[in-house]
A and B are shown apart, each in its own frame.
Chain A
Amino acid sequence: MWKEIFSKQTKWSVMKGLIFKEIDDLIIDSLGIVAFISFFVGGVVAIQTALNLNNPLIPKNLIGFATRESVILEFAPTFISVIMAGKMGSFITSSIGSMRVTEQIDALEVMGVNSLNYLVFPKLVAVLLYPFVIGISMFLGIFGGYIATVYGGFGTSTDFIEGVQVNFIPFHVTYAFIKTFIFGILLASIPSFHGYYMKGGALEVGKASTVAFVWTSVMIILMNYILTQLLLT
């Protein structure tokens, strides 16, 4: 599959349009749900941290610190990617699977178009922008934590901002973006594989979407473990 995706490239004038369409479908269309989830989960992380701070010796800036660490290290790159496996992954599998069922992929092949390159390559290029989505998720997660802390009466603005800045390790952001890049490739390739090679009718398109979601999630969680082991230990 990989060899075919990168061989016999579609004409650039056509490919350009396909890439922009995939950026719109996969990246831009995901921003709303990512922003919504990130903001509120960031808020919940902050509240739960605050509620567990019973000891007066623990500084209040721990809320900002814990929110930053949770959001940057795990929530934004990993759990948003698992959510995207459902949103983006099932969209990819069902759109390619429907094309398989309705003979549109056969039509491409019969015309002499490399269908794997035509369908999958633009998705792989589009997900190169996936770290941008996760960057927004990180920002909104921490911002949600800030709003929940300050307006929920759990701490002051100064405490939270100080907590966000304390003991900051820039490599954690690099680590998060390396994970995000790998997860983006998984998000585009695994659902494409399940859609492209599916057999059967409309019912099987639904089944393929479910299987693609499960496998993408499993691979994201496994890769998360492996990358964490490799990069942080």
Chain B
Amino acid sequence: MIEIKNIEKSFGDAKILKGISTVFETGKTNLIIGQSGSGKTVLLKSLLGIHTPEVGTISFDGRIYSELSSEEKRELRTEIGMLFQGGALFDSMTVSENVGFPLRMFTNDDKHKIQDRVDFVLKRVALVDAHHKLPSEISGGMQKRVAIARAIVNKPKYLFCDEPNSGLDPNTATLIDNLIKEITEEYDITTVINTHDMNSVMEIGENILFLKNGIKAWEGTKEDIFRTDNEAVVDFVYSSNLFKKVREAYLRE
């Protein structure tokens, strides 16, 4: 479980996060949504420790990040899996080497044990023939799956995903969404996803945090989002006619 209490973050005179508090529960897919510039990425980077909030605390299962020593912070980071928007695969390494990287860095497992684990997670993300390919030799969707495999290979407690569907076709996007949800439940991970994608919201949004101008404007589940009359959420989520119709159909049922 990740608990955020009243965090504030500014860059120069611009206050980006204005007192956000929430709880991201374990075993659930927690989504952060909002328009560009609403503070989603800053919030995600604050959770990852890339940005340091000026006010407030972030605790990981009771461990308050700002109170940890540098060594404890590094230890905590080994419990984190991250899926970057562009995959962030190491382009000089093969798929297999990319996935095995956290194991080579942080475990004392021998080559065979590492390879077995790599084979297992690559099979889990439905990639069996790509072991020896370089990231540049595989498609965007496959790169995302490799990135997911790398993020979960060391059995993380926390999984962060930044725009996991960006640049993917609808089929692959749904596949990635479902994969993240399955993995979250299977490994009982606290997953936090930063997304613009309304399909993801409808498919896997178990807990949705809506940000507007750096403020928590709304929080609820994907079912709540159909029923809410919060103007900011309705404007953002149902800006397209298609989603308006989906909502009307849902409410009629």
Binding site for B on A (CB under 8 A): 8, 10-11, 13-14, 98-99, 102-104, 106-107, 109-114
Contacts and interface: CB of A to CB of B under 8 A. Distances in A.
A112 B78 contact: yes
Nearest to A118: B105
Interface residues of B, number: 24
Contacts of A10: 105
Contact of B85 (A11, A103, A112): A103
B77 A102 contact: no
Given A13-B104, A110-B82, A112-B106, A104 B91 contact: yes
A107 B89 CA distance: 8
Given A104-B90, A106-B50, A113 B105 contact: yes
A109 B105 contact: no
B50 A110 contact: yes
B162 to A, nearest CB: 9
Interface in B91-105: 91, 101-102, 104-105
Contact of A110 (B80, B89, B91, B104): B80
Contacts of B91: 98, 102, 104
Contacts of B85: 103
B50 A104 contact: no
Main secondary structure of the interface of B (DSSP, over half): mixed
11 contacts: A98-B91, A102-B86, A103-B88, A106-B50, A109-B50, A110-B49, A110-B80, A111-B77, A111-B80, A111-B105, A114-B74
A157 to B, nearest CB: 48
B179 interface: no
A107 B88 contact: yes
B61 interface: no
A123 to B, nearest CB: 14
Contacts of A13: 104
Nearest to B71: A8
A104 B50 CA distance: 13
Given A102-B91, A103-B88, A110-B49, 18 more contacts: A8-B74, A14-B105, A104-B90, A104-B91, A106-B50, A106-B88, A107-B90, A109-B50, A110-B50, A110-B160, A111-B78, A111-B101, A111-B102, A111-B105, A111-B106, A112-B77, A112-B78, A112-B80
A104 B88 contact: yes
Contacts, number: 55
Interface of B: 48-50, 70, 74-78, 80, 82, 84-86, 88-91, 101-102, 104-106, 160
A103 B74 contact: no
Contacts of A98: 91
B74 A112 contact: yes
Main secondary structure of the interface of A (DSSP, over half): helix
A104 B76 CA distance: 19
A50 to B, nearest CB: 48
Nearest to A21: B92
A132 B137 CA distance: 37
Candidate in B50, B90, B105 with the most chain A CB atoms within 10 angstroms: B105
Contact of B75 (A110, A112, A113): A112
A74 to B, nearest CB: 36
Contacts of B86: 102-103
A22 to B, nearest CB: 12
A111 B85 CA distance: 16
Nearest to B102: A111
A13 B105 CA distance: 9
A141 B84 CA distance: 50
Contacts of A8: 70, 74
Nearest to B77: A112
Contacts of A106: 50, 84, 88
Please provide the 5 A-B residue pairs with the shortest distance between their CB atoms, ordered closest to farther: A112-B77, A103-B88, A107-B88, A112-B78, A112-B74
Nearest to B82: A110
A209 B61 CA distance: 43
Contacts of B50: 106, 109-110
Contacts of B101: 111
B205 to A, nearest CB: 24
A11 B49 CA distance: 23
Given A103-B88, A107-B84, A110-B50, A14 B102 contact: no
